[in-house]
Each structure stands twice: as C-alpha cells, then as structure tokens.
Amino acid sequence: MNNTSILRARTLLLFLSSSLVLHAADSPPPNNKPQYGAWGFDLAGADTKTKPGDDFFRYANGSWIDKTQIPPDKPAYSLRLAMTDLTEQRLHEMMETLAAKDVGNPSTLQEKVAAFYRSFMDEARIEELGAKSIESVLSEVKKAETRDDLAALMGHEGLDYESSLFSYGIDVDLKDPSKYAFYLRQGGLGLPDRDYYLKPEFEKQKSAYQAYVTTLLKLVAWPEAEARARDVVDFETKIADASWTKAEQRNLDAIYNPMTVDELAKFAPGFNWNGFLGTTRMDNLSGVIIAEKSAFPKLAEIYSKAPLETIRAWHAFHISDNAAPYLSKAFTAAYFELRGKTLSGQKEQQARWKRAITAVAGGDFGVGDRFGTFGTMGFGVGQLYSAKYFPPEAKAKIQELVANLKDAYHARIEQLDWMGEETKKEALKKLDTYTIKVGYPDHPRDYSKLVIKSDDLIGNIKRCAQLDWAFYSGRFYGPVDKTDWGMTPQTNDAYNGSLRDIVFPAGILQPPIFDPAADPAINYGAAGGVIGHELTHGFDDQGRKIDASGALRDWWTAKDADTFKKRAEVLGSQYSKFEPLPGVKVNGELTMGENIADLGGVVLALEAYQTSLKGEPAPVIDGFTGEQRVLLGWAQAWRGKGSDDFVRKQVVSDPHSPRQFRVNGPMRNVDAWYDAFKIESGDKLFVAPNDRVRIW
C-alpha cells in the first residue's frame, strides 16, 4: 500500500505542528533540574557572538549547530528528534520485553504487538521468503487483461501494497461537517514532488529513481526490467506535468469539488471509475469530492493512452516499492539507497530494531517519508505507551493549562485593531468551538479481530491496513466522531484538525517543548508558542475559510478579508526571499499557513506570559529578561540542522519552512523582539515598523 499517499488523503484537512503551555506563576519543582541548562535553555549551545538582529536562530543555537553532527542514520537532527529518540528507546524496551515471551496464537493487545515486532526482527525468515511474500499481489497484476482491470486494482491502495493514480481517503465533509465525505486526490508519483520530474536541478535524483525502478523490477523478475523502468518514469513524468503544485493543493476552495460517481466518469473519461471505487470496499458510494479538478481528466487521458505493459510495470514497481521496507536485504538496501541516501542525504540505514518499531508503531523509516499509522498497530501501541508514560492526572493538568492559553487568544482577537466587529464576532465564535485533546484518545481502538502472526510480516502489515480502513469506512454513513484522533499518542507532533480540535499527543510532552522543571518563560516560548501556532492555524490563509460549525464558508467582511490577504502577501514575500542553500529559496506561497501560524504562536506566547505575571515584574535570570527567555524558548524548540538533500526536498514538498526561518521569520515582525534584544536599523533582520506584518 502507498502509506504516504493514504495518510495524506485521509488527513486532507489536518495542519501539522505542535502545542502546550505552563503557567508563568508556577515554579519548577525545587529538587528537579531542567533537561537543558540551569533554567531550561542551553546557553552552551548558543552563539552569543552573533548579533541577535543579524541571525537570531544562530544567536540562540549556533554553537550547538557547529558542534553537532547529523547521525549517519538520519537525514537531519534536532532537539525534536532527540525527543523522538527517547520515545523510540522506550518503545524498544517495551517491545523487547513483550517479545521475550513467544505466544503461538497471540490474542491480547500486548501479545499481538510482540508478535508483530518479532515478525520484523526475524531476518532469517524474511531472507528466506525474498520476493515470495508479494507474489500473490503481483500475480493479480499479471492476470489483469485490460486497463479497466488494472484501474480496479488501484482501488486496493488502502487494502494492500498497491498504489493508485488517484489516492483516496475519508474525512469530515468540508461543506457539511455533520457527515463524512470520500475524497479523491491526484497520485501516481514515486518521487517526493512533481518538481523532481520536471526541473533540471533534480536530474540526478530522477536518474537515480529510474535505476531504482529497474532494480526493484529485476528483484521481482519482471520481464525487460530496464526498458519497463524507462517507461514507468516517462509515464510518471507525464503525470507530474498534469499534476497540481503543492502550493495549489493548499487552496481549500479549489480542492472541494463534489460530484456523483456518474458525473466523475463523464468528467474524467478513460479510467474505470466504477471498478476502481468498487474495490475500495465502499458500499453504495454515490458521491465523491475531488481535489485537483483540472488534473483529473488529464490524468485519466494519460492513463487511457499508456501501453498496458507500462501500466503493469508501474503497478509491479509500486507494489515492490511499498513493500520494500518489509522484504529481504536486497529490497531494503535499494530502498534506502534512493529514499534515504539520494533523496534525503542520509548516510546509513537505521538499525533494524528502529525500523521494526516504525513498522509496528508508525512513523518513518529514517528517510523523511512519513508512513503514519496506516498498516501499523500505532493506536494499539499508543495505548500501551500512554499507560506507562502519561498518567491520567498529567492529562488533566495539561488540559487545564492549554485552556488558559486559549483564553489568552480570545483576548487577543478582541483587541485586534484591523478587524471589524462583525468578523471578530465570528472569529471568537469559532475559537470557542475548539476542543483541546491531550495525551491519548478517550476511546481506545479495537484490535480484538486483528490477526497477527510472528512469521508473516507482509501479512501483518496488510491485515493492519485492512483493519484500519474497515474502521474508517465502517463509520462512513454514521455520525461524525468528534472524539477521533488522526495522530497516535507516541507521535512527536501535533495538529489542528478538521474537527476544530487541537491534538497534542503524549509523545511531544518532553523537553525542549515542555519541561516542568524549566523556567516558566521557556515553557511559554516553546510549548505556549507551539499551541499558539496550532490555534492560529484555524485562522491562517486556509483555516480562516472554515466557520464555527466546521464548514467551508466565507464569514469575513470584504474589507477584513482584503486586509488579511494584503498582510499575508507581505509575509509571503518576506519568506520567498529566504535562501537556505545557494539558489534554493523558500516558497512563500507553499509555506504561507505555517508561517502565519508561527508568527501568531510567538506573539501569543509573549502575551500569555505577560498576562500570567498578573502585573508583577518578570524575574531576570543570568541577565536575560522574561521576554528574552520566552523568545529563546521558541528558538531552542527549533534547534536543528539537515543535510543539503533533505533541505532541497523540504523546500519543494513540505509546507513548513526550514527551521532557521521558523525562528528568524517571525521574529523580524514581532515588535517585542526588537525591544527585548535592542535590534537596530543596521541589523540584517531589521524591518521598519511600518513594514512589519501584524496579523493575529
């Protein structure tokens, strides 16, 4: 299955990032020591020789950046990844302990997690099977006689190792949030973005990709592997040319296009829509919502004209590619060589136990490609992880703290000087509907019917995928589950979702995001800034289009909308000038939502910190004022570095700006930063007061 595309389709409306907060009035426990530095900030990792007004990211993090080497099994490294390493170690210890007892017929959640883990760690069995594990899936491709047959096989994308020209998923209906909708999006590509096929600067990666296609086709003994690999890459290049850009895909108005199945068949002829949708196991599906509308007829036409042997080879390659992480060393080595080394700059493959944890619990394979929870026991592992590392009393405390920051945001909206009362009223109404979900879901996922075998890794992945899809498709015609989570408890991330919910998993509740022993100002800058970021996502350039009911509706006055757009355009222009590598510039349009959210997060963190002081002066620690420490907390939260190839891939395919600009970008628009660090007009990051962007 194409885990990445399925996750992307199912989380169509999610805006990924992070969240949480601590009262400034709370004091760190007297006998506890912060993880970083004496008060929560690692001064040894800073570079105070750099002027904060020239490069605040380096001022806060430069010494760490100079001394830290990216681990050979990672394409990047950061304090956030150090958090993931800790979670990884905890999961490793847990799974090793569980796996020590071999149960012939696993029935409990613990036994199934253990058997799944053992199936990945059984290298001898996996090497013995080689490509045999996926022969049954490949045989379906070989038996398919027509394009219609092959299109129908694409409907298995959510059920086995197939890929599809059109990815699908289920989420809340954007126009009617009381029900679910079936979404279709463009797919079909094996490289991270269309630019990799179309722009000359990615010629090396495209050439390596074709070699990889050849290698995998040879490993499954596909006829004329080299010739077919050329055909596959040419086929995908045509798909890329017809596809929308990542920036275009962000426009919620543009990607909401409801159609009946009959209308879709007429709109995009040349593709067997009935056969495709029929194999998704969606009974009585009458309507769909397509995203990249103008691309659909083009993609269907490309498909209708492609030779059958090309389409068969395309199927065979993507099946092999999606299964490669779970197959023998020949497959995993080829997979890493392309996706880890060539595309991400990673030097070494991750240890097998780390990849086993990814397979069982979700995440990525150390190559920067998010596999998420699909095809895993992610939520089951999350139940076990939360029970051990996140007690209910911690959840209750943090929910209370987060609610306080939400109140601070409410006050900030009321004080906006550029927004009219009518729009403010709707904005506040929407903010009041937000639900904060912390730690882990209230209702555990049911794994009682899942069959896991300690000697069948490929089968375990497939059965997990089918159980997952049965969960989402099974509730399609019922009421929307507002308690739902789109992220597992062990995930080191957070999101602002389509349910008007902010989810903050247990996995992110670690330093430097949250440290109960740290100075409160640091927690406000890191955790408070991050939850402010998530709250702001509900009001960024796309989130602002959703109303208080969760529906896609224009609730802005024309004047306020025009003011917002103009301010956002200025911010986008600022970011488009940032250059993480020579000749490689940030895409201000693609990253617009995240940049607006970062700016909102920093401003809100500062305001909430000041409010928490209740009129008392902030203490000065090691010569740093309270406001300085809040801003340093935000900067430290993004401390990290990436390989050049990782950064190149991020710039074209990721809606988040590279981490140095998640610090420098917001700061230059925050008046308090200028005052706190005495920024002057000659400094490189200086922006004249009248040119600074002020949105939320």
Is the backbone of residue 503 left (phi > 0), alpha (psi -120 to 50) or beta? beta
Average pLDDT, the chain: 92
Residue 654 pLDDT > 80, yes or no? yes
Q: What tokens appear for 458 in the block?
A: 């490929």
Mean pLDDT across 322-333: 97
Amino acid, res. 212? Y
Label residue 31 by pLDDT band (50, 70, 90).
Answer: low
Is the backbone of residue 350 left (phi > 0), alpha (psi -120 to 50) or beta? beta
Could you tell me if 395 and 441 are in contact, meaning their C-beta atoms sit under 8 angstroms apart? no
> What is the pLDDT at residue 373?
59
Which residues make Cβ contacts (< 8 Å) with residue 143, sequence separation at least 6?
149
> What is the pLDDT at residue 23?
32
Choose among 31, 154, 169: nearest CA to 469: 169
Measured in degrees and rounded to the nearest 5, phi and psi for residue 257 equal -135, 90
Could you tell me if 538 and 44 are in contact, meaning their C-beta atoms sit under 8 angstroms apart? no
Distance (Å, rounded) from C-alpha 609 to C-alpha 523? 9
| Token pair 């007892």: residue | 101
Could you tell me if 121 and 360 are in contact, meaning their C-beta atoms sit under 8 angstroms apart? no
Domains of the chain, start order: 14-77+390-445+496-691 (3.40.390.10)
Residue 250 DSSP code: G
Label residue 498 by pLDDT band (50, 70, 90).
Answer: confident
CA distances from 603 to 90, 408, 528, 671, 695 (A): 35, 11, 10, 9, 10
Label residue 206 by pLDDT band (50, 70, 90).
Answer: very high
> What is the pLDDT at residue 541?
95
The 10 Å CB-count burial string (b at 16+, else e) for 300-312 is bbbbeebeeebbb
Residue 490 pLDDT > 80, yes or no? yes
Burial (CB < 10 A; 0-12, 13-18, 19+), residue 546, is: buried
Mean pLDDT across 431-441: 91
Distance (Å, rounded) from C-alpha 77 to C-alpha 91? 20
Query: In sequence order, what E strands does 264-345 have?
Result: 287-290
> What SS3 class is residue 229?
helix
| Helix 109-121 vs helix 352-361: crossing angle, to nearest 10 | 140
> What is the pLDDT at residue 26?
36
Label residue 363 by pLDDT band (50, 70, 90).
Answer: confident
Query: In sequence order, what E strands does 164-209 have?
Result: 166-172, 180-186
Distance (Å, rounded) from C-alpha 541 to C-alpha 564? 8
> What is the pLDDT at residue 58?
98
> What is the pLDDT at residue 497?
85
Percent residues over pLDDT 90 in the chain: 84
Beta bridge partners of residue 390, listed in sequence order? none
Beta bridge partners of residue 501, listed in sequence order? 435
Percent residues over pLDDT 70 in the chain: 93
Amino acid, res. 33? K
> What SS3 class is residue 534?
helix
Which residues make Cβ contacts (< 8 Å) with residue 434, sequence separation at least 6?
406, 500, 501, 502, 535, 538
Choose among 264, 258, 244: nearest CA to 182: 258
Mean pLDDT across 13-24: 29
Choose among 632, 661, 682: nearest CA to 571: 661
Residue 269 pLDDT > 80, yes or no? yes
Could you tell me if 468 and 372 are in contact, meaning their C-beta atoms sit under 8 angstroms apart? no
pLDDT tens for each residue of 133-148: 999 999 999 999 999 9
Could you tell me if 174 and 256 are in contact, meaning their C-beta atoms sit under 8 angstroms apart? yes
Mean pLDDT across 56-67: 98
Choose among 134, 49, 188, 490: nearest CA to 319: 134
pLDDT tens for each residue of 521-530: 999 999 989 9
Label residue 13 by pLDDT band (50, 70, 90).
Answer: very low
In 3-state terms the chain splits into helix, strand, coil percentages (rounded to 5) of 55, 10, 40
Residue 542 pLDDT > 70, yes or no? yes
3-state secondary structure string, 642-678?
A: ECHHHHHHHHHHCCCCCHHHHHHHHHCCCHHHHHHHC
